Amino acid sequence: MENLIIIGSGPAAHTAAIYAGRAKLNPLMFEGFNAGGVAAGGQLTTTTEVENYPGFPEGISGPKLMVKMREQSVKCGARIETVTIDKVDLSKRPFKVFAGSKTLETKALILATGATAKRLNIPGEEKLWQKGVSACAVCDGALPIFRNKVLVVIGGGDTAVEESTFLTKYGSKVVVLVRRDVLRASKAMQERMKQNPKLEIMWNTEAKEISGNKSVEAVKIINNKTKKETTVAAGGLFYAIGHTPNTAFLNGQLELDETGYIKTNSGTTYTSVEGVFAAGDVQDKRYRQAVTAAGTGCMAALEAEKFLSEHSS
Ligand code: FAD
Ligand code: NDP
């Protein structure tokens, strides 16, 4: 019987493993094998430089940061298996975790399986990914390649409004492509957008292709009403079309919100099942940063430790 199993491999899972390891809980982590199409280590393995994670004034590459976190988890006493968990049984304690052909029992469980940013998979995207194409303006917007360029944002939700407003600090102009003739974003956010002279919205517009040699140079767009195609000369393209939380494997056993994120009690990592804790992007659709994921990973380990000490019998 395990004390604590951690599922996931991003900053939340590793921070939880470091704290739980140091607390002598002997945690077992399942880091996944290309779970959801993302390598063990999570979303940061898909990026280049991370410049906003404290402790690295010169920046650090995303994959390297995750290798370091993994080393620290192991050093602190976590055991790590490269297996994707596709089923759990949370109906009673101890919980069951199905790992390939093995079934494990655990007294407590931390879920830190993250979320995956949605992409459009249009021509040019793969070639120019992280060379001007990004799914995180807050992470990448301040990079020199975007300075004083026309930047394109796709989406009409709160994220699109928030990120396009953020990008006006760096770009000469920000063009937001909205596929319908209304925004999904809240009224308050829409008002803020209207007052920003550097923002332009193109309604009923979708991106068809991204072009550029070494980095993004232009985006081909289409008005889906008139079918007219044009090209916008731009130095960057940011997707803000939503994320998919990695919660399908829970099979409805925990309370999720209407978009599939795990619900936690405000200010804690407690889920709807006692003894199951959730940390990182899988329960956070607002901040979605490595450092906030790490923060909630720490909270989950401390809360799991308290839970285990209270239920030691
Ligand atoms: P994730 O990083 O989402 O990792 C979870 C991982 O768990 C999954 O990827 C998978 O490998 C594994 N997993 C999933 N399901 C299972 C399963 N069933 N079994 C086993 N394993 C599983 N944030 C910043 O602060 N600074 C940045 O510069 C920055 N740049 C970014 C650039 C890009 C391109 C992207 C996409 C994101 C960026 N972010 C950045 C956001 C940051 O990566 C996330 O907020 C952070 O990684 C979330 O961490 P997490 O621990 O919740 O899990
Ligand atoms: P949303 O799902 O709310 O919005 C996604 C947007 O992308 C929609 O406008 C959608 O269009 C558009 N979209 C989706 N797929 C495509 C596609 N294939 N092509 C073009 N456009 C597409 O995601 P968000 O990330 O904006 O927000 C997620 C949640 O987080 C929301 O609940 C939001 O309120 C919350 N949030 C709150 C913030 C805050 O309060 N400060 C900040 C950020 C997020 P359509 O409308 O036509 O479906």
| Residues in CB range of 146: below 8 A, 6 or more apart | 132, 140, 167, 170, 171, 235, 236
Most ligand 2 atoms within 8 A of CB, residue of 120, 209, 286 to mutate: 286
pLDDT, mean over the chain:
95
- For ligand 1, atom 26, the nearest C-alpha belongs to 139
The last residue of a domain, from among 212, 239, 266: 239
User: What sign does the CA torsion over 196, 202, 203, 205 have?
Assistant: negative
Please compute the mean of the pLDDT values over residues 115-131 and round it to a whole number: 94
Q: Are residues 81 and 158 in the same domain?
A: no
76 is catalytic: no
Q: Are residues 134 and 272 in the same domain?
A: no
Please compute the mean of the pLDDT values over residues 3-20 and round it to a whole number: 98
Q: Are residues 176 and 200 in the same domain?
A: yes
The last residue of a domain, from among 194, 211, 239: 239
Q: Which two tokens stand for residue 261?
A: 């994120």
- For residue 24, the model assigns a pLDDT of 97
Cβ–ligand 1 contact at 241 (below 6 Å): no
Q: Are residues 170 and 210 in the same domain?
A: yes
139 is catalytic: yes
Q: Are residues 219 and 277 in the same domain?
A: no
Please compute the mean of the pLDDT values over residues 205-209 and round it to a whole number: 98
* Nearest partner of 137 among 123, 151, 118, judged by Cα: 151
Max mean pLDDT among 28-37, 173-182, 189-198 falls in 173-182
Please compute the mean of the pLDDT values over residues 215-230 and round it to a whole number: 98
136 is catalytic: yes
Q: Are residues 101 and 250 in the same domain?
A: yes
Please compute the mean of the pLDDT values over residues 41-49 and round it to a whole number: 89
Residue whose token pair is 């308050």: 188
Q: Are residues 105 and 252 in the same domain?
A: yes
- For ligand 1, atom 30, the nearest C-alpha belongs to 139
Note the Cα 23 to chain centre separation in Å: 27
**232 pLDDT more than 80:** yes
Residue 150, strand partner residues? 173
CA distance 106 to 289: 29
CA distance 147 to 168: 10
- For ligand 1, atom 27, the nearest C-alpha belongs to 139
Ligand nearest to the CA of 189: 2
Give the helix, strand, coil percentages of the chain, each rounded to 5: 30, 30, 45
Q: How confident is the model at residue 160 (pLDDT cuts 50, 70, 90)?
A: very high
Q: Which two tokens stand for residue 133?
A: 């194409």
Please compute the mean of the pLDDT values over residues 238-248 and round it to a whole number: 95
Q: Are residues 283 and 223 in the same domain?
A: no
Cα of 39 to ligand 1 centre, how many Å?
10
Given a contact cutoff of 8 angstroms between Cβ atoms, the answer to whether 152 and 235 are in contact is no
- For residue 310, the model assigns a pLDDT of 96
Residue 105, strand partner residues? 96
Q: Which domain holds residue 140?
A: 119-239
pLDDT tens digits for range 57-107: 999 999 999 999 999 999 999 999 999 999 999 999 999 999 988 999 999
CA distance 196 to 165: 8
**131 pLDDT more than 90:** yes
pLDDT > 90: percent of the chain: 88
Most ligand 1 atoms within 8 A of CB, residue of 7, 19, 116, 139 to mutate: 139
Say how many residues make up the chain.
Answer: 313
The last residue of a domain, from among 189, 224, 239: 239
Q: Which two tokens stand for residue 104?
A: 């494990």
Q: Are residues 191 and 162 in the same domain?
A: yes
**312 pLDDT more than 90:** no
**313 pLDDT more than 80:** no
- For residue 271, the model assigns a pLDDT of 98
CA distance 204 to 75: 53
CA distance 208 to 202: 14
Given a contact cutoff of 8 angstroms between Cβ atoms, the answer to whether 173 and 167 are in contact is no
Question: Structurally, how many domains does the chain consist of?
Answer: 2
Q: Is the pTM of this model over 0.75?
A: yes
Q: Are residues 126 and 227 in the same domain?
A: yes
Q: Are residues 37 and 87 in the same domain?
A: yes
Q: Give the count of beta carbons closer than 10 Å to the beta carbon of residue 186.
A: 12
Please compute the mean of the pLDDT values over residues 109-121 and round it to a whole number: 95
The CATH number of the domain where 50 resides is what?
Answer: 3.50.50.60
- For residue 49, the model assigns a pLDDT of 85
DSSP structural state of residue 144: G
Q: Are residues 8 and 46 in the same domain?
A: yes
- For residue 48, the model assigns a pLDDT of 80
Cα of 262 to ligand 2 centre, how many Å?
18
